[in-house]
Structure formats: C-alpha cells, structure tokens
Amino acid sequence: MVGVEQKVDLLTIFKLQEAAADQNLKRLPLLQQVMSFLSQGIAIEYRILNEMAFEATKQTVIRLLAGDCISHIVVATRLGLWGAIPEALSILRGALESGAQLEYIVKENIYQTAIYEIQSKRFDRIAYDRIKVELGELGKSADRLHGRLSDLASHSTGRRLSLVEYNLDGEDYDRLGFSVDPNWVLHAEYLSMLCLMQLTTSLYSVHTQEGKGVTIDDQILAWKICFDQLCTRVSEMDQRSAKSES
C-alpha cells in the first residue's frame, strides 16, 4: 500500500509516484491493456510521421502540431499513471487543442495560413476558439471534453478539489502528486486514448490527401479494432461502477 508518511521530502514523493504507478497497474488489469494500447499508438504516430514526404511547409506544420499533441499525451499519460489525476487532465487539454487544430488544418488544406500564424505567434484562423466552431459536430464533441477537462483539472473548482483526497482500502489519503486510485487512473488514460486516436486519424488523412497510404495500414487497422474493444470494456466498467454506487 502506498501512503503519505509523516516526514516526506521531494525525493520520497518521486519514489512514491513510481510505487503508485506500479500499484495502479497491478490492481486493474484493464489499465495494463490500455497502457499497452497507448504505447503501440505512440509507436504508430512516430512511424507515420517518419513516412512523411511532403513539401516543406506542409511537413513543418504537421510536425509542429503533431509533436506538440504527442508530447502532451505522453506527459499526461505518465502523470495519470502516477495517479496525479488533475495534473494529467490539465496537460491533456493541450493535446486536445493542438489535435483539433491539426484536424482543421488538414481538413481545410490551409498549411500556408497555419505556418504564417505559427511563425507570427498570433493565431486567428487556426485559433482553438474559432476552429471548434468550424469543425462542426467534431468541434462540439472536442469542446465538451475541453470544458470537462477545464472543470476537473485546469481551473480551481469544487470538482478539482474533490480529487485532492482518495480512498484506498477503506483509508483516506491526500493526493500529493500521486495516488493509488486505479479507476480514476483508467479514466485519465482513456481520455489519452481518445486524443491519440483523433491524432492518428488526422495524420492518416494527411497521407490520403496526397494520394498515398502508409506502410503500416494493417497495423493501424488492428490498433483501431483494439481501440473499439477497449472503449467497450471501459464503458461496461463505468456502467458497473455507476450501478454499485446507486
């Protein structure tokens, strides 16, 4: 069991974070499968990016936004595994924003506009608040998740503060950069899955836009099938948890 000792310093917390990650994985086998899925997904993203052979502007825009999205997902996934739930979700909001921007840029084929706004450090047409409207139903879905992440993590709200404490085996603990709270960890990593799948869809669309495929089409298809299966299992687990709490 991972708890908070009376005397604690930063190095102790670092060790407890790793111990909490280990406990979260051991206590929930489904979480192990989700982490394996995320790991495979990151490998796929890098493979797709390495196969890019587009003109310079297009390639730069894709590399910058996809790289930003992947970096946020990787860090959020690590924090989530430690059980640092609000922090993980707050960082994941960045992945959601850059992923949505990339989706819009690819859809509208506005790479010149994008590179100009990126280099000028002033977003207008590719600003998140604008593209969430332009993306229609996808934008509405992204913005609902964006609002949920803001309420749970990015802003000081009652819902975020409710996550400061967690219960483990009948005992209450403070969440000081880590927690053994596998159900919440699964929730955070599930949201990472959603962001990663959206990025994969965008990157794949970039290649088809050029009339090209990628050399790992079969691997991507198998990965998407695994995504659907995991989503179903997470949904079923949420339903069981809701029934047990009612």
Looking at residue 242, what is its pLDDT?
64
User: Residue 3 above 90 pLDDT?
Assistant: no
- Number of domains forming the structure of the chain: 1
Structure-token pair, residue 172: 């209450």
User: Residue 212 above 80 pLDDT?
Assistant: no
Report CA-CA distances (Å) from 54 to 15, 19, 51, 209: 44, 44, 9, 11
Average pLDDT, integer, range 72-80: 97
Kindly tell me the sign of the dihedral angle through the C-alpha atoms of 219, 224, 230, 232: negative
Query: Mind listing the pLDDT tens digit for each residue in 112-164?
Result: 999 999 999 999 999 999 999 999 998 898 888 888 887 777 667 777 777 78
Looking at residue 1, what is its pLDDT?
43
User: Residue 44 above 60 pLDDT?
Assistant: yes
Residue 5: inside a domain, yes or no? no
Q: Counting beta carbons within 10 angstroms of the beta carbon of residue 125, is it exposed (0 to 12), middle (13 to 18) or buried (19 or more)?
A: middle
What is the distance of C-alpha 32 from the center of its chain?
Answer: 16
User: Residue 5 above 90 pLDDT?
Assistant: no
Residue 58: inside a domain, yes or no? yes
Residue 4: inside a domain, yes or no? no
Residue 66: inside a domain, yes or no? yes
Kindly tell me the sign of the dihedral angle through the C-alpha atoms of 131, 56, 224, 194: negative
Other beta carbons within 10 Å of 133: 10
Domain that holds residue 217: 10-245
User: Residue 243 above 70 pLDDT?
Assistant: no
Average pLDDT, integer, range 217-235: 93
Produce one character per residue of 42-79: b if its CB has 16 or more CB atoms within 10 Å, e if not.
eebbeebbeebebeeebebbbeebbebbbebbbbbbeb
pLDDT band at 2 (very low <50, low <70, confident <90, very high): very low
